[in-house]
Structure 1
Protein backbone atom coordinates (compact mmCIF):
# COMPACT_ATOMS: atom_id res chain seq x y z
CA UNK A 1 0.00 0.00 0.00
CA UNK A 2 2.99 2.27 0.34
CA UNK A 3 6.35 3.44 -0.95
CA UNK A 4 8.94 5.14 1.22
CA UNK A 5 12.55 6.21 1.59
CA UNK A 6 14.41 6.15 4.91
CA UNK A 7 17.75 7.96 4.91
CA UNK A 8 20.58 9.68 6.77
CA UNK A 9 22.27 12.91 5.70
CA UNK A 10 25.83 12.77 4.42
CA UNK A 11 27.18 14.33 7.64
CA UNK A 12 25.10 11.94 9.76
CA UNK A 13 23.31 14.72 11.63
CA UNK A 14 19.87 14.27 10.10
CA UNK A 15 17.61 11.26 9.73
CA UNK A 16 14.31 11.16 7.92
CA UNK A 17 11.48 9.33 6.20
CA UNK A 18 9.37 10.28 3.20
CA UNK A 19 6.32 8.15 2.42
CA UNK A 20 3.28 8.10 0.14
CA UNK A 21 0.34 5.73 -0.17
CA UNK A 22 -3.21 5.12 -1.36
CA UNK A 23 -4.10 4.95 2.31
CA UNK A 24 -5.54 7.53 4.68
CA UNK A 25 -2.91 9.35 6.77
CA UNK A 26 0.07 7.09 6.07
CA UNK A 27 2.19 9.61 7.96
CA UNK A 28 0.44 8.62 11.19
CA UNK A 29 1.53 5.00 10.80
CA UNK A 30 4.66 4.49 8.73
CA UNK A 31 7.54 6.77 9.86
CA UNK A 32 9.57 6.94 13.04
CA UNK A 33 12.84 8.72 13.72
CA UNK A 34 15.03 9.85 16.59
CA UNK A 35 17.84 12.38 16.36
CA UNK A 36 21.33 10.87 16.42
CA UNK A 37 19.74 7.40 16.57
CA UNK A 38 18.12 6.54 13.25
CA UNK A 39 14.88 6.24 11.33
CA UNK A 40 12.54 3.54 10.06
CA UNK A 41 9.41 2.92 8.02
CA UNK A 42 6.94 0.14 8.82
CA UNK A 43 4.43 -0.58 6.08
CA UNK A 44 2.38 -3.16 4.12
CA UNK A 45 0.43 -4.70 7.02
CA UNK A 46 2.32 -2.32 9.28
CA UNK A 47 3.44 -3.43 12.71
CA UNK A 48 3.39 -0.22 14.74
CA UNK A 49 5.42 -1.86 17.50
CA UNK A 50 8.37 -1.84 15.09
CA UNK A 51 8.64 1.90 15.58
CA UNK A 52 9.45 1.94 19.29
CA UNK A 53 11.24 -1.42 19.24
CA UNK A 54 13.36 -0.50 16.24
CA UNK A 55 14.43 2.84 17.68
CA UNK A 56 15.25 1.15 21.00
CA UNK A 57 17.56 -1.27 19.21
CA UNK A 58 19.18 1.51 17.18
CA UNK A 59 19.68 3.48 20.39
CA UNK A 60 21.86 0.68 21.76
CA UNK A 61 24.05 0.66 18.64
CA UNK A 62 22.53 -2.32 16.81
CA UNK A 63 23.21 -2.10 13.06
CA UNK A 64 20.28 -1.50 10.70
CA UNK A 65 20.44 -5.00 9.18
CA UNK A 66 20.41 -6.57 12.62
CA UNK A 67 17.48 -4.39 13.68
CA UNK A 68 15.51 -5.64 10.70
CA UNK A 69 16.50 -9.24 11.35
CA UNK A 70 15.57 -9.03 15.01
CA UNK A 71 12.20 -7.38 14.47
CA UNK A 72 10.98 -9.73 11.77
CA UNK A 73 12.31 -12.87 13.47
CA UNK A 74 10.17 -12.16 16.53
CA UNK A 75 7.04 -11.33 14.47
CA UNK A 76 4.67 -14.16 13.46
CA UNK A 77 3.09 -11.79 10.93
CA UNK A 78 6.39 -11.11 9.16
CA UNK A 79 5.19 -12.42 5.79
CA UNK A 80 2.86 -9.41 5.47
CA UNK A 81 5.35 -6.83 6.72
CA UNK A 82 7.66 -4.41 4.99
CA UNK A 83 10.35 -2.47 6.80
CA UNK A 84 13.19 -0.04 6.09
CA UNK A 85 15.80 1.01 8.67
CA UNK A 86 18.76 3.40 8.77
CA UNK A 87 21.07 3.92 11.74
CA UNK A 88 23.77 6.44 12.62
CA UNK A 89 26.28 4.82 10.29
CA UNK A 90 26.68 1.99 7.83
CA UNK A 91 24.24 0.65 5.27
CA UNK A 92 20.49 0.93 5.48
CA UNK A 93 18.43 -2.27 5.43
CA UNK A 94 15.07 -3.26 3.97
CA UNK A 95 12.76 -6.26 4.29
CA UNK A 96 9.76 -7.38 2.24
CA UNK A 97 7.71 -10.33 3.47
CA UNK A 98 6.75 -13.04 1.00
CA UNK A 99 3.07 -12.33 1.58
CA UNK A 100 3.14 -8.64 0.57
CA UNK A 101 0.97 -7.74 -2.42
CA UNK A 102 2.72 -7.39 -5.78
CA UNK A 103 4.65 -5.54 -6.84
CA UNK A 104 6.67 -5.42 -3.65
CA UNK A 105 10.37 -5.03 -2.95
CA UNK A 106 13.13 -2.70 -1.90
CA UNK A 107 16.76 -1.65 -2.18
CA UNK A 108 19.31 -0.25 0.24
CA UNK A 109 22.81 1.16 0.44
CA UNK A 110 25.01 3.40 2.58
CA UNK A 111 22.67 5.51 4.71
CA UNK A 112 19.46 4.79 2.78
CA UNK A 113 16.70 2.25 2.16
CA UNK A 114 13.73 2.40 -0.23
CA UNK A 115 10.78 0.01 -0.23
CA UNK A 116 7.25 -0.32 -1.50
CA UNK A 117 4.33 -2.66 -2.01
CA UNK A 118 1.29 -2.72 -4.30
CA UNK A 119 3.44 -0.71 -6.67
CA UNK A 120 3.16 -0.12 -10.40
CA UNK A 121 6.38 -2.12 -10.71
CA UNK A 122 10.07 -2.25 -9.77
CA UNK A 123 10.63 1.00 -11.65
CA UNK A 124 9.19 2.84 -8.65
CA UNK A 125 11.99 1.63 -6.38
CA UNK A 126 14.56 2.18 -9.10
CA UNK A 127 13.42 5.77 -9.65
CA UNK A 128 13.60 6.56 -5.94
CA UNK A 129 17.02 4.98 -5.62
CA UNK A 130 18.34 6.83 -8.66
CA UNK A 131 16.91 10.16 -7.51
CA UNK A 132 18.51 9.78 -4.08
CA UNK A 133 21.90 8.67 -5.38
CA UNK A 134 21.87 11.17 -8.24
CA UNK A 135 21.40 14.17 -5.98
CA UNK A 136 24.44 16.15 -4.88
CA UNK A 137 25.46 15.29 -1.32
CA UNK A 138 25.38 18.96 -0.34
CA UNK A 139 21.74 19.41 -1.37
CA UNK A 140 19.39 20.16 1.54
CA UNK A 141 18.31 16.90 3.14
CA UNK A 142 14.53 17.37 3.38
CA UNK A 143 14.10 18.49 -0.26
CA UNK A 144 16.30 15.59 -1.32
CA UNK A 145 13.95 13.15 0.44
CA UNK A 146 10.94 14.86 -1.13
CA UNK A 147 12.55 14.65 -4.57
CA UNK A 148 13.12 10.90 -4.19
CA UNK A 149 9.49 10.43 -3.19
CA UNK A 150 8.40 12.52 -6.18
CA UNK A 151 10.48 10.32 -8.49
CA UNK A 152 8.75 7.20 -7.20
CA UNK A 153 5.35 8.80 -7.53
CA UNK A 154 5.96 9.84 -11.12
CA UNK A 155 7.27 6.34 -11.92
CA UNK A 156 3.85 4.93 -11.04
CA UNK A 157 3.86 4.83 -7.24
CA UNK A 158 1.06 2.91 -5.56
CA UNK A 159 -0.78 1.16 -8.41
CA UNK A 160 -4.15 1.85 -6.73
CA UNK A 161 -3.68 5.62 -6.89
CA UNK A 162 -2.82 8.48 -4.54
CA UNK A 163 -4.16 9.61 -1.16
CA UNK A 164 -1.59 10.58 1.47
CA UNK A 165 2.07 11.49 1.94
CA UNK A 166 4.35 12.61 4.74
CA UNK A 167 7.86 13.86 5.46
CA UNK A 168 9.60 13.50 8.83
CA UNK A 169 13.13 14.79 9.52
CA UNK A 170 14.91 14.94 12.87
CA UNK A 171 18.13 16.63 14.00
CA UNK A 172 19.43 17.41 17.48
CA UNK A 173 17.97 20.78 18.50
CA UNK A 174 16.64 21.28 14.98
CA UNK A 175 13.02 21.98 15.94
CA UNK A 176 11.26 25.31 16.34
CA UNK A 177 13.27 27.58 18.60
CA UNK A 178 15.70 24.73 19.24
CA UNK A 179 13.17 23.27 21.68
CA UNK A 180 12.84 19.86 20.03
CA UNK A 181 14.61 17.54 17.61
CA UNK A 182 11.80 17.51 15.04
CA UNK A 183 13.08 19.59 12.15
CA UNK A 184 10.29 18.78 9.66
CA UNK A 185 7.00 16.98 10.32
CA UNK A 186 4.60 17.46 7.41
CA UNK A 187 1.58 15.32 6.63
CA UNK A 188 -0.97 15.34 3.85
CA UNK A 189 -3.62 12.88 4.99
CA UNK A 190 -6.12 12.92 2.09
CA UNK A 191 -5.38 14.70 -1.19
CA UNK A 192 -5.56 13.96 -4.94
CA UNK A 193 -1.83 14.74 -5.38
CA UNK A 194 -0.30 14.31 -1.93
CA UNK A 195 3.37 14.11 -2.95
CA UNK A 196 3.19 17.45 -4.74
CA UNK A 197 1.30 18.89 -1.78
CA UNK A 198 4.01 17.78 0.65
CA UNK A 199 6.59 19.49 -1.59
CA UNK A 200 4.52 22.69 -1.55
CA UNK A 201 4.26 22.58 2.24
CA UNK A 202 8.00 21.98 2.51
CA UNK A 203 8.65 25.16 0.52
CA UNK A 204 6.49 27.10 2.99
CA UNK A 205 8.15 25.38 5.94
CA UNK A 206 11.58 26.33 4.59
CA UNK A 207 10.52 29.96 4.19
CA UNK A 208 9.05 30.23 7.68
CA UNK A 209 11.29 27.98 9.76
CA UNK A 210 14.54 27.72 7.85
CA UNK A 211 17.56 29.15 9.64
CA UNK A 212 19.32 31.95 7.75
CA UNK A 213 22.44 31.13 5.79
CA UNK A 214 25.21 33.48 7.03
CA UNK A 215 26.13 34.37 3.45
CA UNK A 216 22.58 35.62 2.86
CA UNK A 217 22.57 38.05 5.81
CA UNK A 218 22.66 41.77 5.05
CA UNK A 219 23.72 44.46 7.51
CA UNK A 220 20.89 46.81 8.49
CA UNK A 221 22.88 49.87 7.48
CA UNK A 222 22.80 52.54 4.80
CA UNK A 223 20.45 51.99 1.86
CA UNK A 224 19.26 48.61 3.17
CA UNK A 225 18.29 50.10 6.51
CA UNK A 226 16.43 52.95 4.81
CA UNK A 227 14.56 50.57 2.53
CA UNK A 228 13.60 48.22 5.36
CA UNK A 229 12.40 51.13 7.50
CA UNK A 230 10.24 52.43 4.63
CA UNK A 231 8.80 48.96 3.92
CA UNK A 232 8.04 48.36 7.59
CA UNK A 233 6.36 51.75 7.87
CA UNK A 234 4.20 50.94 4.84
CA UNK A 235 3.30 47.61 6.46
CA UNK A 236 2.21 49.35 9.67
CA UNK A 237 5.35 48.77 11.73
CA UNK A 238 7.22 52.10 11.74
CA UNK A 239 10.51 52.05 13.67
CA UNK A 240 9.95 53.88 16.92
CA UNK A 241 11.84 54.17 20.17
CA UNK A 242 12.93 50.55 19.91
CA UNK A 243 14.61 51.15 16.59
CA UNK A 244 14.69 49.19 13.38
CA UNK A 245 15.46 45.83 15.01
CA UNK A 246 12.38 46.05 17.24
CA UNK A 247 10.10 47.03 14.36
CA UNK A 248 11.46 44.22 12.20
CA UNK A 249 11.03 41.72 15.04
CA UNK A 250 7.41 42.82 15.58
CA UNK A 251 6.61 42.44 11.89
CA UNK A 252 8.42 39.10 11.59
CA UNK A 253 6.52 37.70 14.57
CA UNK A 254 3.22 38.39 12.85
CA UNK A 255 4.55 36.92 9.58
CA UNK A 256 5.89 33.79 11.40
CA UNK A 257 9.44 34.55 10.28
CA UNK A 258 10.96 34.86 13.74
CA UNK A 259 13.28 31.88 13.19
CA UNK A 260 15.07 33.95 10.54
CA UNK A 261 15.74 36.97 12.74
CA UNK A 262 19.34 38.04 13.48
CA UNK A 263 20.01 41.26 15.44
CA UNK A 264 21.22 44.19 13.29
CA UNK A 265 20.97 42.12 10.12
CA UNK A 266 18.28 40.89 7.75
CA UNK A 267 18.04 37.60 5.92
CA UNK A 268 17.77 38.03 2.14
CA UNK A 269 14.76 35.68 2.24
CA UNK A 270 13.04 37.94 4.77
CA UNK A 271 13.83 41.05 2.72
CA UNK A 272 12.37 39.43 -0.39
CA UNK A 273 9.19 38.59 1.55
CA UNK A 274 8.96 42.15 2.87
CA UNK A 275 9.40 43.57 -0.63
CA UNK A 276 6.76 41.20 -2.01
CA UNK A 277 4.26 42.48 0.54
CA UNK A 278 4.83 46.01 -0.72
CA UNK A 279 4.13 44.87 -4.29
CA UNK A 280 0.85 43.22 -3.31
CA UNK A 281 -0.45 46.15 -1.28
Structure 2
Protein backbone atom coordinates (compact mmCIF):
# COMPACT_ATOMS: atom_id res chain seq x y z
CA UNK A 1 0.00 0.00 0.00
CA UNK A 2 2.79 2.44 0.89
CA UNK A 3 4.51 1.73 -2.41
CA UNK A 4 1.26 2.42 -4.26
CA UNK A 5 0.81 5.78 -2.50
CA UNK A 6 4.42 6.76 -3.15
CA UNK A 7 4.02 5.83 -6.83
CA UNK A 8 0.87 7.98 -7.04
CA UNK A 9 2.65 10.95 -5.49
CA UNK A 10 5.55 10.62 -7.91
CA UNK A 11 3.14 10.60 -10.83
CA UNK A 12 1.10 13.58 -9.65
CA UNK A 13 3.91 15.81 -8.36
CA UNK A 14 4.80 17.23 -11.82
CA UNK A 15 1.13 17.98 -12.51
CA UNK A 16 0.68 19.66 -9.15
CA UNK A 17 3.83 21.69 -9.70
CA UNK A 18 2.30 23.17 -12.84
CA UNK A 19 -0.39 24.76 -10.67
CA UNK A 20 2.00 26.36 -8.20
CA UNK A 21 4.16 29.30 -9.16
CA UNK A 22 6.71 30.80 -6.82
CA UNK A 23 6.86 34.58 -7.04
CA UNK A 24 9.90 36.82 -6.84
CA UNK A 25 9.44 37.01 -3.06
CA UNK A 26 9.81 33.25 -2.78
CA UNK A 27 6.15 32.73 -1.83
CA UNK A 28 3.56 30.68 -3.78
CA UNK A 29 1.26 32.84 -5.89
CA UNK A 30 -2.51 32.36 -5.58
CA UNK A 31 -4.10 30.23 -8.27
CA UNK A 32 -7.20 32.33 -9.07
CA UNK A 33 -8.40 31.23 -12.49
CA UNK A 34 -11.62 33.10 -12.92
CA UNK A 35 -13.71 35.62 -14.82
CA UNK A 36 -13.94 39.29 -13.93
CA UNK A 37 -14.93 42.75 -15.08
CA UNK A 38 -13.46 46.20 -14.39
CA UNK A 39 -15.64 49.14 -15.34
CA UNK A 40 -16.27 52.87 -15.04
CA UNK A 41 -19.75 54.39 -14.93
CA UNK A 42 -20.05 56.91 -17.75
CA UNK A 43 -22.56 59.03 -15.80
CA UNK A 44 -21.14 59.11 -12.27
CA UNK A 45 -17.48 58.30 -12.90
CA UNK A 46 -17.62 55.61 -10.20
CA UNK A 47 -15.45 52.52 -10.70
CA UNK A 48 -16.16 48.86 -10.01
CA UNK A 49 -14.62 45.42 -10.21
CA UNK A 50 -16.58 42.16 -10.06
CA UNK A 51 -15.22 38.61 -9.91
CA UNK A 52 -16.30 34.99 -9.61
CA UNK A 53 -13.94 32.03 -9.26
CA UNK A 54 -13.67 28.41 -8.22
CA UNK A 55 -11.22 29.46 -5.54
CA UNK A 56 -11.68 30.30 -1.87
CA UNK A 57 -12.02 34.00 -0.97
CA UNK A 58 -11.18 35.40 -4.39
CA UNK A 59 -11.78 38.92 -3.10
CA UNK A 60 -8.60 38.83 -1.01
CA UNK A 61 -6.36 38.58 -4.06
CA UNK A 62 -8.02 39.55 -7.35
CA UNK A 63 -9.98 42.79 -6.75
CA UNK A 64 -8.44 46.16 -5.88
CA UNK A 65 -9.72 49.72 -5.99
CA UNK A 66 -9.19 53.25 -4.72
CA UNK A 67 -11.49 56.24 -5.04
CA UNK A 68 -10.40 58.82 -7.58
CA UNK A 69 -7.70 56.44 -8.83
CA UNK A 70 -9.00 53.24 -10.42
CA UNK A 71 -9.69 49.53 -10.10
CA UNK A 72 -7.55 46.48 -10.83
CA UNK A 73 -8.30 42.79 -11.36
CA UNK A 74 -5.25 40.51 -11.20
CA UNK A 75 -5.95 36.84 -11.88
CA UNK A 76 -4.82 33.54 -13.41
CA UNK A 77 -1.55 33.09 -11.47
CA UNK A 78 -2.37 36.13 -9.37
CA UNK A 79 0.33 38.67 -8.61
CA UNK A 80 -1.16 40.46 -5.60
CA UNK A 81 1.38 43.25 -5.86
CA UNK A 82 -0.25 44.29 -9.15
CA UNK A 83 -3.20 45.55 -7.12
CA UNK A 84 -1.41 48.00 -4.86
CA UNK A 85 1.38 48.79 -7.31
CA UNK A 86 -1.06 49.34 -10.13
CA UNK A 87 -3.09 51.80 -8.07
CA UNK A 88 0.10 53.57 -6.98
CA UNK A 89 1.15 53.98 -10.62
CA UNK A 90 -2.25 55.42 -11.50
CA UNK A 91 -2.05 57.76 -8.53
CA UNK A 92 1.34 58.95 -9.79
CA UNK A 93 -0.25 60.01 -13.07
CA UNK A 94 0.12 56.93 -15.28
CA UNK A 95 -2.75 55.91 -17.54
CA UNK A 96 -4.24 52.44 -17.23
CA UNK A 97 -2.15 51.21 -20.17
CA UNK A 98 1.06 52.83 -18.90
CA UNK A 99 0.55 51.29 -15.47
CA UNK A 100 -0.11 47.87 -16.97
CA UNK A 101 2.96 48.09 -19.20
CA UNK A 102 5.13 48.95 -16.20
CA UNK A 103 3.76 46.07 -14.13
CA UNK A 104 4.37 43.54 -16.89
CA UNK A 105 7.80 44.92 -17.86
CA UNK A 106 9.31 43.75 -14.58
CA UNK A 107 7.28 40.55 -14.23
CA UNK A 108 8.91 37.24 -15.14
CA UNK A 109 5.50 35.57 -14.91
CA UNK A 110 3.75 37.86 -17.42
CA UNK A 111 2.88 34.91 -19.67
CA UNK A 112 0.66 33.36 -16.98
CA UNK A 113 -0.94 36.61 -15.84
CA UNK A 114 -4.31 38.07 -16.66
CA UNK A 115 -4.69 41.68 -15.57
CA UNK A 116 -7.20 44.45 -16.23
CA UNK A 117 -7.15 48.09 -15.10
CA UNK A 118 -9.71 50.89 -15.38
CA UNK A 119 -8.63 54.35 -14.28
CA UNK A 120 -10.62 57.34 -13.05
CA UNK A 121 -10.05 59.21 -16.32
CA UNK A 122 -11.88 56.57 -18.33
CA UNK A 123 -8.91 54.61 -19.69
CA UNK A 124 -8.99 50.81 -19.76
CA UNK A 125 -6.16 48.30 -20.31
CA UNK A 126 -6.07 44.50 -20.24
CA UNK A 127 -3.53 41.70 -20.70
CA UNK A 128 -4.00 37.95 -21.15
CA UNK A 129 -0.74 36.01 -21.02
CA UNK A 130 -0.07 33.46 -23.76
CA UNK A 131 0.25 30.67 -21.19
CA UNK A 132 -3.08 31.29 -19.41
CA UNK A 133 -5.11 28.09 -19.43
CA UNK A 134 -7.78 27.73 -22.13
CA UNK A 135 -10.19 29.01 -22.65
CA UNK A 136 -8.57 32.36 -21.85
CA UNK A 137 -9.37 35.70 -23.39
CA UNK A 138 -10.70 39.20 -22.91
CA UNK A 139 -12.87 41.82 -24.55
CA UNK A 140 -12.45 45.55 -24.04
CA UNK A 141 -15.13 48.18 -24.41
CA UNK A 142 -15.05 51.96 -24.16
CA UNK A 143 -15.38 52.02 -20.36
CA UNK A 144 -14.84 48.42 -19.30
CA UNK A 145 -12.91 45.21 -19.80
CA UNK A 146 -14.07 41.63 -19.27
CA UNK A 147 -11.53 38.83 -18.92
CA UNK A 148 -11.62 35.12 -18.25
CA UNK A 149 -9.35 32.11 -18.10
CA UNK A 150 -9.86 28.38 -17.61
CA UNK A 151 -13.41 28.75 -18.94
CA UNK A 152 -15.54 25.87 -20.15
CA UNK A 153 -15.84 27.49 -23.59
CA UNK A 154 -14.83 30.58 -25.55
CA UNK A 155 -18.17 32.42 -25.32
CA UNK A 156 -17.74 33.87 -21.83
CA UNK A 157 -16.09 37.26 -22.60
CA UNK A 158 -18.61 38.07 -25.34
CA UNK A 159 -21.51 37.11 -23.06
CA UNK A 160 -20.16 39.37 -20.31
CA UNK A 161 -19.63 42.31 -22.66
CA UNK A 162 -23.10 41.87 -24.15
CA UNK A 163 -24.78 41.88 -20.75
CA UNK A 164 -22.83 44.90 -19.54
CA UNK A 165 -23.70 46.94 -22.62
CA UNK A 166 -27.32 45.78 -22.71
CA UNK A 167 -27.90 46.88 -19.11
CA UNK A 168 -26.52 50.41 -19.46
CA UNK A 169 -29.56 51.80 -17.62
CA UNK A 170 -28.76 49.90 -14.42
CA UNK A 171 -26.70 51.28 -11.53
CA UNK A 172 -23.07 50.22 -11.91
CA UNK A 173 -23.04 47.44 -9.26
CA UNK A 174 -26.15 45.76 -10.69
CA UNK A 175 -24.70 46.15 -14.18
CA UNK A 176 -21.43 44.50 -13.16
CA UNK A 177 -23.35 41.69 -11.50
CA UNK A 178 -25.34 41.15 -14.71
CA UNK A 179 -22.05 40.62 -16.56
CA UNK A 180 -20.92 38.03 -14.02
CA UNK A 181 -24.27 36.24 -14.25
CA UNK A 182 -23.99 36.18 -18.04
CA UNK A 183 -20.53 34.60 -17.76
CA UNK A 184 -21.87 31.83 -15.56
CA UNK A 185 -24.84 31.26 -17.86
CA UNK A 186 -22.44 30.95 -20.81
CA UNK A 187 -20.55 28.11 -19.10
CA UNK A 188 -18.28 29.84 -16.61
CA UNK A 189 -15.21 28.30 -15.00
CA UNK A 190 -14.59 24.73 -16.15
CA UNK A 191 -14.06 23.72 -12.49
CA UNK A 192 -17.28 25.24 -11.17
CA UNK A 193 -17.70 28.11 -8.70
CA UNK A 194 -16.89 28.95 -5.10
CA UNK A 195 -16.45 32.66 -4.34
CA UNK A 196 -17.31 36.10 -5.70
CA UNK A 197 -16.71 39.78 -4.99
CA UNK A 198 -18.20 43.14 -5.97
CA UNK A 199 -16.33 46.35 -5.16
CA UNK A 200 -17.25 49.92 -6.15
CA UNK A 201 -15.38 53.13 -5.31
CA UNK A 202 -16.06 56.76 -6.10
CA UNK A 203 -14.66 58.18 -9.29
CA UNK A 204 -13.61 61.32 -7.45
CA UNK A 205 -11.87 61.29 -4.10
CA UNK A 206 -13.07 63.64 -1.39
CA UNK A 207 -11.78 64.75 1.99
CA UNK A 208 -13.75 61.90 3.59
CA UNK A 209 -12.02 58.81 2.17
CA UNK A 210 -13.91 56.55 4.58
CA UNK A 211 -17.01 57.31 2.49
CA UNK A 212 -15.31 56.97 -0.91
CA UNK A 213 -13.65 53.56 -1.04
CA UNK A 214 -16.49 51.30 0.00
CA UNK A 215 -19.61 52.48 -1.81
CA UNK A 216 -20.25 48.78 -2.37
CA UNK A 217 -17.90 46.20 -0.85
CA UNK A 218 -19.41 42.71 -0.90
CA UNK A 219 -17.67 39.35 -0.71
CA UNK A 220 -18.83 35.76 -0.82
CA UNK A 221 -15.84 33.70 0.28
CA UNK A 222 -17.27 30.17 0.04
CA UNK A 223 -20.68 29.19 -1.35
CA UNK A 224 -22.29 26.69 -3.69
CA UNK A 225 -23.97 29.54 -5.59
CA UNK A 226 -21.72 32.58 -5.03
CA UNK A 227 -23.43 34.83 -7.58
CA UNK A 228 -26.87 34.11 -6.16
CA UNK A 229 -25.51 35.01 -2.73
CA UNK A 230 -23.81 38.12 -4.13
CA UNK A 231 -27.14 39.16 -5.65
CA UNK A 232 -28.85 38.69 -2.29
CA UNK A 233 -26.16 40.73 -0.53
CA UNK A 234 -26.45 43.54 -3.07
CA UNK A 235 -30.22 43.71 -2.56
CA UNK A 236 -29.65 43.71 1.20
CA UNK A 237 -27.10 46.49 0.74
CA UNK A 238 -29.69 48.54 -1.14
CA UNK A 239 -32.23 47.97 1.63
CA UNK A 240 -29.78 49.13 4.28
CA UNK A 241 -28.99 52.22 2.23
CA UNK A 242 -32.63 53.12 2.86
CA UNK A 243 -32.19 52.23 6.53
CA UNK A 244 -29.16 54.51 6.79
CA UNK A 245 -31.05 57.37 5.17
CA UNK A 246 -33.91 56.70 7.57
CA UNK A 247 -31.52 56.94 10.52
CA UNK A 248 -30.18 60.23 9.16
CA UNK A 249 -33.71 61.58 8.81
CA UNK A 250 -34.40 60.51 12.40
CA UNK A 251 -31.32 62.41 13.60
CA UNK A 252 -32.73 65.51 11.88
CA UNK A 253 -36.16 64.91 13.43
CA UNK A 254 -37.61 64.36 9.95
CA UNK A 255 -39.98 61.59 10.94
CA UNK A 256 -41.88 61.65 7.64
CA UNK A 257 -38.60 61.14 5.74
CA UNK A 258 -37.56 58.40 8.17
CA UNK A 259 -40.83 56.57 7.71
CA UNK A 260 -40.50 56.74 3.92
CA UNK A 261 -36.96 55.34 4.00
CA UNK A 262 -37.69 52.60 6.54
CA UNK A 263 -40.77 51.67 4.55
CA UNK A 264 -38.73 51.43 1.33
CA UNK A 265 -36.24 49.15 3.10
CA UNK A 266 -39.02 46.94 4.43
CA UNK A 267 -40.50 46.55 0.96
CA UNK A 268 -37.19 45.09 -0.20
CA UNK A 269 -37.01 42.66 2.74
CA UNK A 270 -40.44 42.43 4.38
CA UNK A 271 -39.43 39.51 6.63
CA UNK A 272 -36.51 41.41 8.22
CA UNK A 273 -37.42 42.24 11.85
CA UNK A 274 -34.99 45.16 12.04
CA UNK A 275 -36.60 46.86 9.07
CA UNK A 276 -40.11 46.14 10.35
CA UNK A 277 -39.20 47.51 13.77
CA UNK A 278 -37.85 50.87 12.67
CA UNK A 279 -40.75 51.30 10.28
CA UNK A 280 -43.07 50.78 13.26
CA UNK A 281 -41.13 53.30 15.35
CA UNK A 282 -41.31 55.82 12.51
CA UNK A 283 -45.07 55.27 12.38
CA UNK A 284 -45.33 55.94 16.11
CA UNK A 285 -43.25 59.09 15.79
CA UNK A 286 -45.61 60.37 13.07
CA UNK A 287 -48.67 59.90 15.32
CA UNK A 288 -49.72 56.61 13.74
CA UNK A 289 -49.52 54.73 17.03
CA UNK A 290 -52.28 52.24 16.29
CA UNK A 291 -50.56 51.08 13.10
CA UNK A 292 -47.28 50.84 15.01
CA UNK A 293 -48.92 48.72 17.72
CA UNK A 294 -50.08 46.16 15.14
CA UNK A 295 -46.60 45.85 13.67
CA UNK A 296 -44.84 45.74 17.03
CA UNK A 297 -47.11 42.98 18.31
CA UNK A 298 -45.89 40.67 15.52
CA UNK A 299 -42.30 41.69 16.13
CA UNK A 300 -42.52 41.03 19.90
CA UNK A 301 -44.00 37.60 19.22
CA UNK A 302 -41.00 36.77 17.05
CA UNK A 303 -38.46 38.15 19.54
CA UNK A 304 -39.48 39.76 22.88
CA UNK A 305 -36.19 41.65 23.19
CA UNK A 306 -37.57 44.27 20.80
CA UNK A 307 -40.14 45.20 23.47
CA UNK A 308 -37.35 46.09 25.90
CA UNK A 309 -35.64 48.14 23.20
CA UNK A 310 -38.85 50.11 22.71
CA UNK A 311 -38.85 51.02 26.42
CA UNK A 312 -35.32 52.43 26.07
CA UNK A 313 -35.87 54.65 23.03
CA UNK A 314 -37.64 57.66 24.64
CA UNK A 315 -34.62 58.29 26.90
CA UNK A 316 -32.45 59.05 23.88
CA UNK A 317 -35.11 60.85 21.87
CA UNK A 318 -35.66 58.16 19.23
CA UNK A 319 -39.27 57.62 20.27
CA UNK A 320 -41.24 60.82 20.84
CA UNK A 321 -44.58 59.70 22.25
CA UNK A 322 -46.54 60.35 25.41
CA UNK A 323 -46.36 58.06 28.42
CA UNK A 324 -49.77 56.67 27.59
CA UNK A 325 -48.74 56.00 23.99
CA UNK A 326 -45.54 54.34 25.15
CA UNK A 327 -47.52 52.04 27.41
CA UNK A 328 -49.69 51.13 24.45
CA UNK A 329 -46.64 50.42 22.31
CA UNK A 330 -44.94 48.12 24.81
CA UNK A 331 -48.02 46.38 26.21
- TM range, normalised to the smaller chain? 0.7 to 0.9
Q: Secondary structure at the match of 1:246?
A: coil
Q: For the residues of structure 2 that align with 1:148 and 1:8, how far apart are their CA atoms? A: 14
Aligned residue in 2 for 1:162? 193
After superposition, the Cα gap between the structure-2 partners of 1:53 and 1:135, relative to the gap in structure 1 and judged at 3 Å, is same
1:62-211 alignment runs, 5 A limit: 62-137=94-169, 139-171=170-202, 172=205, 179=211, 181-210=213-242
Deviation at 1:90, TM superposition (A): 3.0
After superposition, the Cα gap between the structure-2 partners of 1:96 and 1:106, relative to the gap in structure 1 and judged at 3 Å, is same
Report which of the two has the higher share of helix: 2
Aligned residue in 2 for 1:20? 52
Conserved in 1, the CA contact under 8 Å of 2:285 and 2:319? no
Q: For the residues of structure 1 that align with 2:142 and 2:99, how far apart are their CA atoms? A: 16
Query: Normalising to structure 2: TM-score of the pair?
Result: 0.66
Conserved in 2, the CA contact under 8 Å of 1:91 and 1:108? no
Q: For the residues of structure 2 that align with 1:112 and 1:174, how far apart are their CA atoms? A: 27
Aligned residue in 2 for 1:260? none
After superposition, the Cα gap between the structure-2 partners of 1:239 and 1:29, relative to the gap in structure 1 and judged at 3 Å, is closer
RMSD of aligned C-alpha atoms?
A: 3.1
Larger Rg: 2
Q: For the residues of structure 2 that align with 1:113 and 1:133, how far apart are their CA atoms? A: 11
Indicate which of 316, 319, 323 corresponds to 1:247: 319
Q: For the residues of structure 1 that align with 2:45 and 2:290, how far apart are their CA atoms? A: 38
Query: Normalising to structure 1: TM-score of the pair?
Result: 0.76
The structure with higher relative contact order (CA 8 Å, sep 6+) is: 1
After superposition, the Cα gap between the structure-2 partners of 1:140 and 1:228, relative to the gap in structure 1 and judged at 3 Å, is farther
1:131-167 deviations in Å (ceiling 9; x for gaps): 1111134x21111111111111111110111111111
1:147-202 deviations in Å (ceiling 9; x for gaps): 111111111110111111111111257999x6552122211111111111111111
After superposition, the Cα gap between the structure-2 partners of 1:136 and 1:228, relative to the gap in structure 1 and judged at 3 Å, is farther
Gap runs ≥5 in structure 1: 249-281
Q: For the residues of structure 2 that align with 1:240 and 1:34, how far apart are their CA atoms? A: 39
Aligned residue in 2 for 1:10? 42
